[in-house]
Amino acid sequence: MTVARSFISTALWFIVAGIIFSMPGLAYLAIIPMTVLAIGLLVDPPGGISVERELAKTNLRAGEELRVKVQLKVRHGIGFVVIRECLPEEFALVDGSNVRAFFKGFRELVVEYEYVIKPVKRGKYRIGRSEVMGYHVFGLKPSRLGVFGEEIYLLVLPRVSLPKRTRTPVTKSQIPIPMTSVSIRGAASTDFREIREYRAGDPVRFINWKASARKGEVLVNEFEKEGKKTVLFIIDATGSKVGSSVENPLEYSIQLVSSLAYYFTKRNYNVGLYVVGHRKLILPATGSKQLYILVKTLLELEEVEVEKEDFVRAVEGLKHVLIRYTPLVIYVSNLLPGRLTEIGEGIRRLRPIYRDKRLPILVFDVSTYSLLERDVSSLILLEKRALRHDLLRAGVYSILWDPTREDVTSVVTKTVRLIR
């Protein structure tokens, strides 16, 4: 009660001063602080608080702006009210403020305000309840702190960038998708493929009853399916510790793969995904449901601290998928000069599968070293260009991409020109 003591001390000072100087009028001034003190003790800090927040949507993409509308009501008490919205560190405040202060008088306080935020990284986020502090008008009573409103959960999807519309001259594709690459989700043709074990969802009419009786387990006939070509993304999540939590090779790789996956699935291509380091495989398929599965996987993807898997092990583990689909392989990673032997061995193991001089493989080298000191970044850039030249001699086309100097739209446009 420091403030109360100040009022009492002031009143006593006026009384003592009036007695010493024989000035009754000065002593009467003690009535003022004592009256204010009495009134203040009868008044409570602001209370009866309620907060409502309104958002246009709860699902958005990284880099997309989101407007938040807030309504604050304070029913009783007199004093100052401070409201604060706790935002995740991955959100940037674009317009307005998430901290506001108001004065509550004798009437009910009803205020509305809004601010604009923008997520800079994909993921699942929670915006906690609003923190509201009510301060007594004279500071005579303890302040009231509470949290109000409902928690808000946001799903931030990876940013998708579409290629620019340009006229592509009719030339021989530098990275052709194998003609033997067909869909396993399209309509069944009459071309018999194999007899295999029954899987959940297989039509009953495809069950081979004779083979099932001989084998003692349910077997089905599988036929070739009509459909489009297949693209398999291999994304490296083993980590390189370059850049921040927002600007790093993995985050840019996710953004690139999301954009290309969207482009191919919208054109009825079969799209699959394999995550190096997590050993996470999504078999190639097409359609909006497949796109949802791909985006959900990329959304939840985290960097692996310890490198438990490399490109060679990934190729070995994917052999059954590569043989079955013969897809175009798009490998996205931050390639380091010391990994040339590893990449070369992986390519060597791919050759028996494709048996073509021009392997249907595209390598993206995602480099964020320009964020480092100029001398260091220049040296690493020279090593990466030498690595790109070595890959080209091995029959593999690669793209060195610096996201800080070239946006995703440009590199996606460049990619679709190469692949046909």
| 270-284, 365-379, 402-416: least confidently modelled range | 365-379
Indicate if 114 and 136 belong to the same structural domain.
Answer: yes
316 phi, psi to nearest 5 deg: -60, -40
**Residue 228: what pLDDT?**
64
Q: Assess if residue 172 is contained within a domain.
A: no
24 and 112 in a single domain? The answer is no
- Checking if the pLDDT of 189 tops 70, the result is no
In a domain, 163, yes or no: no
Q: Are strands 280-285 and 270-276 parallel, antiparallel or unpaired?
A: antiparallel
Kindly report, residue by residue over 299-308, the tens digit of the pLDDT: 988 876 555 7
Which tops the pLDDT comparison, 275 or 377?
Answer: 275
Looking at per-residue pLDDT, the higher value among 69 and 393 belongs to: 69
241 vs 115: CA distance, rounded Å: 34
Last residue of a domain, one of 226, 242, 271: 226
Query: Which of 57-61, 162-166, 194-198 tops mean pLDDT?
Result: 57-61
Answer whether residue 235 shows pLDDT above 90. yes
Does residue 205 share a domain with residue 288? no
Instruction: Give the end of a domain, one of 226, 244, 279.
Output: 226
Tell me the three state secondary structure of residue 124: strand
Residue 302 shares a structural domain with residue 404: yes
| pTM (predicted TM-score) | 0.74
Clarify whether residues 33 and 51 are in a common domain: no
What is the C-alpha to C-alpha distance for residues 132 and 148, in angstroms, rounded to an integer? 7
Mean pLDDT for 306-319 is 83
Looking at residue 392, what is its pLDDT? Answer: 82
Within 8 A by CB and 6+ apart from 389, the residues are none
Percentage above 90 pLDDT, the chain: 40
Indicate which CATH number applies to the domain containing 257.
Answer: 3.40.50.410
Spatial strand order of the sheet with 66-76 comes to 47-55, 66-76, 109-119, 91-95
Name the residue with tokens 């401070």.
82
Between the alpha carbon of residue 87 and those of residues 77, 97, 119, 151, 271, the distances in Å are: 28, 11, 10, 11, 36
Element housing 375 (H / E): helix 374-393
pLDDT digits (tens, 9 = 90+) for 321-339: 998 888 999 999 988 767 7
Q: How confident is the model over 173-193, as a mean pLDDT?
A: 55
| 395 is a domain residue | yes
* Edge-to-edge order in the sheet of strand 99-104: 99-104, 79-84, 130-136, 144-148
Cα end-to-end span (Å), the chain: 78
Q: Kindly report which listed range (20-24, 36-40, 155-159, 275-279) carries the lowest average pLDDT score.
A: 36-40
Quote the tokens at residue 2: 């420091």
33 is in which domain, residue-wise? 2-39
Q: What is the mean pLDDT of residues 350-356?
A: 79
Do 255 and 379 sit in the same domain of this protein? yes
More confident of the two residues 183 and 377: 377
How many domains does the structure of the chain reveal?
4
Give every CB contact of residue 57 below 8 A, 6+ residues apart in sequence. 66
Coil, helix or strand at residue 139: coil
Q: Is the pLDDT of residue 315 over 80?
A: yes
On the question of pLDDT at 152 being above 90, the answer is yes
The pLDDT of residue 373 is 63
Instruction: Provide the pLDDT for residue 173.
Output: 57
Helix (H) or strand (E) holding 224: strand 219-225
Considering the domain architecture, whether residues 342 and 289 belong to the same structural domain is answered as yes
Query: Region 75-103: what's the mean pLDDT?
Result: 94
pLDDT for 292 beyond 80: yes
- Per-residue model confidence (pLDDT) at position 417: 82
Task: Say if 170 falls within a structural domain.
Answer: no
**Mean per-residue pLDDT over the chain, rounded:** 83
Q: Are residues 321 and 411 in the same domain?
A: yes
- CA torsion 326→266→250→163, rounded to 10°? 110
Q: b or e along 269-285 (b: 16 or more beta carbons within 10 Å of the residue's beta carbon)?
A: bbbbbbbbbbeebbbbb
Look at residue 179 in the predicted model and tell me its pLDDT.
52
Shared domain check, 235 and 138? no
Domain boundary (180, 203, 226) is at 226
Claim to verify: residue 105 and residue 195 sit in the same structural domain: no
Residue-wise pLDDT for 33-78, tens only, equals 777 767 777 788 999 999 999 998 999 999 999 999 999 999 999 9
- In this prediction, residues 371-396 reach a mean pLDDT of 76
170 falls in which pLDDT band (50, 70, 90)?
very low
Residue 113's CATH number: 2.60.40.10
If asked whether residues 353 and 398 sit together in one domain, one would say yes
Name the token pair of 333: 């990673």
- Kindly state the average pLDDT of the residues 378-386: 79
- Residue 298 resides in a domain: yes
Task: Please tell me whether residues 359 and 375 are part of one structural domain.
Answer: yes
Residue 206 lies in a domain: yes
Report residue 233's pLDDT band, with 50, 70 and 90 as the boundaries: very high
| Per-residue pLDDT at 199 exceeds 50 | yes
pLDDT value of residue 246:
79
Rounded CA separation 110/99 (Å): 16
DSSP 262-324: HHHHTTT-EEEEEEETTTEEEEEE-SHHHHHHHHHHHHT----SS----HHHHHHHTHHHHHH
Is 120 within a domain? yes
> Which of 11-15, 252-256, 308-312 has the lowest average pLDDT?
11-15
Residue 194 falls inside a structural domain: yes
pLDDT at 171: 46
- CA nearest to 152, candidates 72, 92, 63, 70: 70
Determine the average pLDDT of the residues in 232-236. Answer: 94
Lowest-confidence range among 23-32, 53-62, 265-274?
Answer: 23-32
Cα–Cα dist 59/305, whole Å: 29
